[in-house]
Amino acid sequence: MTALELALPAAAAVWGATTGALLPRAAYRFSVPAGEDWRTTCPVGHPVQGWLGRTPCHTCATTAPPTHEPAAAPTDEPAPADEPAAADGVDAPQGPPAPDDESRTGGAGGNTKTATTHPPAPAPAPAPGPTPAPLALATALICATLALTTGTRPELAVWLLLTPVGVLLAVVDFRVQRLPDPLTLPFAATALALLGVAALLPEHAGDWLTSLYAALALGAAYFVLFLVNPGGMGFGDVKLALGVGAALGWYGWPTVLLGTFAGFLLGALYGGALVAVRRAGRKTAIAFGPFLIAGAFAGLLVGAYTA
């Protein structure tokens, strides 16, 4: 292997880690149920602007949580003359009791002790979505593996550009079972456009027309599955299949079949595992997008290695 071929996986890993760390905010904003608008505020109501970056908004990231003063310890000094003392000799509270104070009546003389309880500090707001580290690690591993198998061929640039979007789609679908149109349709168009450019460069190992035909064929096949069983196959999967078919078709029809089969196999294994541990039933719907993308990744690895 040349020095360039040895440096490629490292450079690809750096690219994947950098782009993966920028995905959490987009994953948070896109992770809403079907029919709802994309999120524009963080969990505590601050506006969230932009699509790339860490999950918390700027205000949450830069504002320190409020501090709470500890309660003053009781003293044995007598109460001032102008303030009445409690009947049993215990100092009376110096102000009105808190709303959640508890009053206890004790003793035969009906004396009352007022115990002041301070409200607990508010719990921190929940983390709004995935953290950067897992997404950066996953994207880096995928990019490095693709670089190892693809080598210096021009289509590697296409795979590296598409990988962060594929990871983002998988995360959003896994969280809310939704594949956003602003991601799926541009994913397919971008894949075909970039592969068209790669086909003009020397040393490429694929065929652009096969990519186009595979995109149409896989999209049509998933559309039929959607019509037959709309409860088990979402229309977002149909749109995602266009881009997946374009990527797999670059290395030929055997790669298309392999990647498609791998996606269904992984989905079936995951669903079977959920049923086995009784976390889902046989008719429970699961997000298929992550397995569609994982199958495409497996197919690309084999196709690039054997090309």
Distance spanning both ends of the chain, measured CA to CA: 17
Length of the chain: 307
Exposure on the CB side of residue 277, measured as CA atoms within 13 A: 6
Question: d(Cα 186, Cα 183) in Å, to the nearest integer?
Answer: 6
pLDDT (tens digit, 9 = 90+) per residue, 81-106?
A: 444 444 444 444 444 444 444 333 34
Question: d(Cα 35, Cα 38) in Å, to the nearest integer?
Answer: 9
pLDDT (tens digit, 9 = 90+) per residue, 31-87?
A: 998 888 999 888 888 888 889 998 766 677 665 444 444 444 444 555 444 444 444
Containing 102, the helix (H) or strand (E) segment is strand 102-105
Containing 113, the helix (H) or strand (E) segment is strand 112-115
For 209-213, what is the mean pLDDT? Answer: 97
Q: Spell out the residues 6+ positions from residue 76 whose beta carbon is closer than 8 angstroms to its own.
A: none
The domain limits of the chain are 3-23+132-306
Q: Beta partners for 295?
A: none
Residue 279 pLDDT: 81
pTM for this prediction: 0.77
Q: Which of 229, 252, 225 is nearest to 240 (CA)?
A: 225
Residue 185 token pair: 């349709």
The dihedral sign for the CA sequence 307, 237, 49, 194: positive
pLDDT (tens digit, 9 = 90+) per residue, 219-245?
A: 999 999 999 988 778 899 999 999 999
Question: d(Cα 226, Cα 241) in Å, to the nearest integer?
Answer: 12
